[in-house]
Amino acid sequence: EAPPSRPLILAIDDDPAVREIVQRFLSKQGFAVLLAASGRDGLKLARQCRPQAILLDVMMPEMDGWQVLSTLKADPETAEIPVIMLSMVAERNQAFRLGAHEYLVKPLERSQLLQTLGKITTGAATLLVVEDDASSRELVCRLLHEAGYRTRTAANGLAALESLAQEVPDAILLDLTMPEMDGFQFMEHLRQEPSLSHIPVIVLTAAELTAAERARLNGSVSHILQKGVTDSATILSMLGRELERYFPPPA
């Protein structure tokens, strides 16, 4: 495995010339590079090595990039790894619908590739999005990815607690109305756990909260924002402020 100072990138491409160019270019830029010549080999390496990002060619024989992407996103072991799709054809919508982090058209703009990898690997804050509605979850994650954040997702409070046992995020975006364990119950559990009680939580809810419900949250969340009313810029600016408060930038 690569030492922590060299972020590990997995490149999956059936063209040996492209693999060589990617290896040479990224190694020079300080990345550790793993190469796979087929979708199947790529999936195996992704599970074994858990790279920080995957570069994935679309047009490959046997198993194409779309099949590889769908398999990566369906496997909990690899679902959170950001995937950058590379193709000669402009099919951005398909890529984002299947969960790609970014879609770049060949021939690659090297600066664009570097910028994208830089956002993913330079310690971007990780946010846990807790939301039971799949389309809302996707919208929030898209917004956060575009702002350079990494995301993990959970469909309810119980799944969120399981996610926290694996990785502690820098902040949490929380829906309140969810099955199995709602946002109120989740907050009670979170604040009882000393190792997690520092995490800033921003509530995103469609519900109009009663005074009793606000009291139940009892100052344990940083902000309560209305879905469909609060614009994207406000969400990002509040999030940025919270992260700076808890994790001030180095002097």
Taking the chain (251 residues) in runs of 10, the rounded mean pLDDT of each run is 65 95 88 95 96 95 96 93 89 86 85 76 79 89 81 91 86 89 88 82 87 82 84 80 61 37
In a domain, residue 186? The reply is: yes
Q: Which of 99, 121, 143 finishes a domain?
A: 121
* 65, 130: one domain: no
113 and 158 part of one domain:
no
> What are φ and ψ of residue 18, in 5° steps?
-65, -45
105 and 209 inside one domain: no
Whole-angstrom Cα distance, residue 37 to residue 12? 6
Residue 83 sits in the same domain as residue 150: no
- Which alpha helices (H) appear in 39-172, and where do they start and end? 39-49, 65-74, 92-97, 110-121, 134-146, 157-166
User: Quick check: 129 and 173 in contact, CB under 8 A?
Assistant: yes
140 and 221 in one domain? yes
* Domain count for the chain: 2
Q: Report the alpha-carbon distance of residue 157 to residue 73 in Å, rounded.
A: 21
- Per the structure, the complete domain to which residue 218 belongs is given by 126-246
Amino acid at 248: P
- Based on the domain organization, do 133 and 84 belong to the same domain? no
**pLDDT score for 58:** 95
Rounded Cα distance between 15 and 244, Å, is: 43
- How far CA 200 is from CA of 20, 105, 245, in Å, comes to 43, 37, 9
Same domain, 117 and 142: no
Specify whether 143 is located in the same domain as 66: no
In a domain, 3, yes or no: no
Residue 66 located in a structural domain: yes
Q: Are residues 47 and 70 in the same domain?
A: yes
CATH number reported for the structural domain that contains residue 200 in this entry: 3.40.50.2300
Alpha carbon distances (Å) from 108 to 57, 87, 98, 139: 12, 9, 21, 27
